[in-house]
Each structure stands twice: as structure tokens, then as C-alpha cells.
């Protein structure tokens, strides 16, 4: 009986060993299957987000390219830079707006491109010139009309406290005077020197035909011929003192 039990125990142990060996042989296959199964269920890796700094750097580079284009008058390069994200309201190192630089370069086409791209027509440079003010002072009528059409502040003043109309009158820019009067620039505004546009047309002009026409345009536009300068001298007396008889006659037509 004991022998039979010993034989059964030995057989059982043998069977256990065989099963254990089979299990160990099966483990690598099971592990490989698990890896494959997990791999098929794992979502695809999400690509890393784009570097947000690259966009900013690109825009900065394009703005620098636009500055160069404005300075050199390269219209095609300016348009390309704007299309690539350049800032039309950027400033040069000396704080001059790009638009003001284009206007001072008398580059009408460049100014138009910048305004179309959103450049502020009222932005001023360090000496208080805006595109509108400078265009008015220098008789750049196409740019002036462009600025007015895009929201120019017609009552804004320059470093002398004067409107665009005052230097336009000084220089005898008759067509410019017409544009500014029609736009609603205050005709009797007094600058820091105590002068109106009418005063400057007389005092700082040469008394020639253009200056006489400037005086006539201002008077027709509502300028008050009775406003004296800071020294209490009337426009008529200012003209009389300088021998500008045609101006005196024009003023007399509007004096009581």
C-alpha cells in the first residue's frame, strides 16, 4: 500500500513538473501578445505644438524688411513684407512712423500701400509731424487727400501749435488750402507765435500772386480779417507795412 502511494506521489510530482515546464515555455508568447495588444490600443503620438516664438520672430523680420523697403522706396518689397505679416504701424529707431518717413520721402505710392495696410495717418514723429500735417505743409495733395479719407484729425497741430492750414498758407499752396478748408480745418486757429493762417500768408510770404491768392482763399473760406497778431497789428496793417497792395485790396473787400 505504501509503495502504491509512493508511486502515485512520484507520478503527481512528475506531472506538476511537466505542467510547470509547459507554462514557462508559454510565457514568452503570452508576453509578446500582450505587447502587441497594448501597441494596437495606444493612440498615435500627438506632434509637439509649433513654437509660438517662430511666428513672432517671422513678423519681426518682415517688419524690418518693410522698414528697409520704405527707406529705399522699394514698393514691391514693401508689399511682400506686408503680405507676410509686417507691421505697417512700426517705427524706425528714431521713433519716426513708417508712414511719416514715406511722406517725407514724398513717396505717394509707398504712403498709399502703408495706409491701405492700416498705418495710422495721425501718428506723429518726434518733431510732431504726422502724415497729414506734413503733407498739408508741403503741398503733397494726393497724400493729403489720402490721409483725410482715412480719418486724419484735421484739427491736429504741429510743434508750433499750428494746423496744417497755417504752413500751407505760408507757402502759398493754393490747391492745398482749398483741400484743407473743405476738410474743415479751423481757419482762424492761432498758433504759438500768435498767428493765424491769414497772418502767415502775409508775414511769411513774398507778396506775390500765389500769396495774394492764398489770402483771397482764406478770406473766402471765412478767415476773420480783424484778428490782430500778438502785437496787436491787424492783417491789413501787416500787408500795408510790407507794401503788399494787392493783399490790402483783397482784405479791404472783407473789412467793414
Query: Does the pLDDT value for residue 22 go beyond 90?
Result: no
Mean pLDDT of the chain: 85
* Gap between the Cα atoms of 141 and 178, Å rounded: 10
Asked if the domains 58-153 and 154-256 are classified in one and the same CATH topology, the answer is yes
Contact in structure between 204 and 242 (CB atoms under 8 Å): no
Q: pLDDT digit string (tens) for 89-123?
A: 999 999 999 999 999 999 999 999 999 999 999 99
Residue 40 predicted with pLDDT over 80: no
Lowest mean pLDDT among 56-60, 131-135, 177-181: 56-60
Burial letters 94-106, b for 16+ CB under 10 A, else e: eebbbbbbbbbee
Mean pLDDT, rounded, for 42-50: 41
pLDDT at residue 183 tops 60:
yes
**Span 4-22, average pLDDT:** 41
Q: Other CB atoms closer than 10 Å to residue 66's CB: what's the count?
A: 27
pLDDT at position 59 is 80
Q: What is the DSSP letter of 42?
A: S
> d(Cα 233, Cα 176) in Å, to the nearest integer?
27
- pLDDT (average), residues 125-151: 98
The CATH architecture annotation of domain 58-153 reads Alpha Horseshoe (1.25)
The domain spans of the chain are 58-153, 154-256
Within the chain, residue ranges assigned H as helices are 2-41, 52-72, 75-83, 98-104, 108-116, 131-138, 141-149, 165-171, 174-183, 197-203, 209-220, 235-241, 245-252
What does the pLDDT read at residue 58? 74
Q: In the chain, pLDDT over 70 holds for what percent of residues?
A: 78
Question: Closest by alpha carbon to 59, among 82, 77, 91, 89?
Answer: 82
Name which residue leads in pLDDT, 195 or 43. Answer: 195
pLDDT at 27 over 50: no
Quote the distance between the C-alpha of residue 53 and its chain's center.
Answer: 22
What pLDDT shows up at residue 57? 62
Residue from 88, 84, 58 nearest 70 by CA: 88
Residue-wise pLDDT for 226-239, tens only, equals 999 999 999 999 99
Domain 154-256 belongs to what topology?
1.25.40
Amino acid at each position: 500500500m505504501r509503495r502504491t502511494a509512493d508511486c502515485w506521489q512520484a507520478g503527481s510530482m512528475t506531472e506538476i513538473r511537466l505542467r510547470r515546464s509547459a507554462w514557462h515555455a508559454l510565457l514568452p508568447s503570452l508576453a509578446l501578445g500582450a505587447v502587441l495588444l497594448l501597441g494596437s490600443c495606444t493612440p498615435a503620438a500627438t506632434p509637439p505644438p509649433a513654437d509660438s516664438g517662430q511666428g513672432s520672430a517671422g513678423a519681426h523680420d518682415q517688419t524690418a524688411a518693410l522698414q528697409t523697403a520704405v527707406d529705399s522706396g522699394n514698393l514691391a518689397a514693401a508689399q511682400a513684407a506686408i503680405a507676410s505679416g509686417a507691421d505697417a504701424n512700426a517705427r524706425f529707431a528714431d521713433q519716426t512712423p513708417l508712414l511719416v518717413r514715406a511722406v517725407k520721402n514724398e513717396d505717394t505710392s509707398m504712403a498709399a500701400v502703408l495706409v491701405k495696410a492700416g498705418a495710422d495717418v495721425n501718428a506723429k514723429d518726434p518733431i510732431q509731424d504726422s502724415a497729414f500735417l506734413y503733407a498739408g505743409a508741403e503741398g503733397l495733395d494726393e497724400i493729403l487727400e489720402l490721409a483725410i479719407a482715412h480719418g486724419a484729425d484735421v484739427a491736429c497741430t504741429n510743434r508750433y501749435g499750428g494746423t496744417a492750414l497755417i504752413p500751407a498758407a505760408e507757402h502759398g499752396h493754393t490747391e492745398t488750402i482749398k483741400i484743407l478748408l473743405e476738410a474743415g480745418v479751423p481757419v482762424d486757429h492761432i498758433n504759438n507765435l500768435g498767428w493765424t493762417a491769414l497772418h502767415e500768408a502775409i508775414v511769411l510770404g513774398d507778396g506775390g500772386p500765389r500769396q495774394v491768392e492764398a489770402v483771397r482763399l482764406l478770406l473766402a473760406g471765412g478767415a476773420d480779417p480783424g484778428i490782430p497778431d500778438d502785437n496787436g497789428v491787424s492783417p491789413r496793417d501787416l500787408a500795408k507795412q510790407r507794401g503788399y497792395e494787392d493783399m490790402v485790396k483783397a482784405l479791404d473787400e472783407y473789412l467793414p
